[in-house]
């Protein structure tokens, strides 16, 4: 028999964009409909229209949404930078497995500080 999905117990406002992101009128917001951000959305189209070939990826569930989106991006030919300290798993073991065995094969695993420092050098 299949097990029911565990309750999410998400806090109020978990799905809201925080003011610190400073969303502008010209920003494009893509709403995911599945675990991955590419399937069933126009994300690939919007990135390619703008000549974007590198994605910095973070997210809520390392082993579900982040992993699926990372794999989709990789299969679509994008370069990936995975902000490993800006994501979490449902367990440490899940997070560590994806971090140690999947992500290094498809992108560059970095901390947010390493990513920010690299942008400052450009």
pLDDT in tens, 47-67: 999 999 999 999 989 999 999
Token pair of 14 as six digits:
């978990």
Amino acid 113: pLDDT = 96
Task: Give the chain's end-to-end CA distance (angstroms, integer).
Answer: 54
Amino acid 102: pLDDT = 97
Strands 79-87 and 108-110: parallel
Query: By percentage, how much of the chain surpasses pLDDT 90?
Result: 76
Residue 122 has pLDDT above 80, yes or no: no
Report residue 83: phi and psi, to 5°: -80, 85
**Alpha-carbon gap, residue 99 to 76, rounded angstroms:** 20
Residue 7 has pLDDT above 80, yes or no: no
Q: Other C-beta atoms within 10 Å of 79: how many?
A: 14
For 69-79, write each residue's pLDDT tens digit.
Answer: 999 999 999 99
């Amino acid at each position: 028999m299949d097990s029911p999905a565990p309750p999410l117990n998400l806090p109020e406002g978990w799905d809201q964009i925080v003011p610190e992101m400073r969303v502008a009128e010209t920003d494009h917001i893509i709403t995911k409909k599945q675990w991955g951000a590419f399937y069933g959305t126009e994300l690939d189209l919007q990135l390619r229209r703008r000549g974007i070939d590198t994605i910095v990826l973070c997210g809520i569930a390392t082993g579900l949404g982040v992993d699926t989106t990372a794999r989709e991006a990789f299969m679509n030919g994008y370069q990936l930078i995975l902000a490993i300290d800006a994501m979490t798993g449902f367990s440490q073991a899940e997070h560590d497995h994806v971090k140690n065995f999947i992500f290094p094969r498809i992108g560059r695993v970095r901390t947010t500080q390493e990513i920010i420092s690299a942008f400052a050098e450009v």
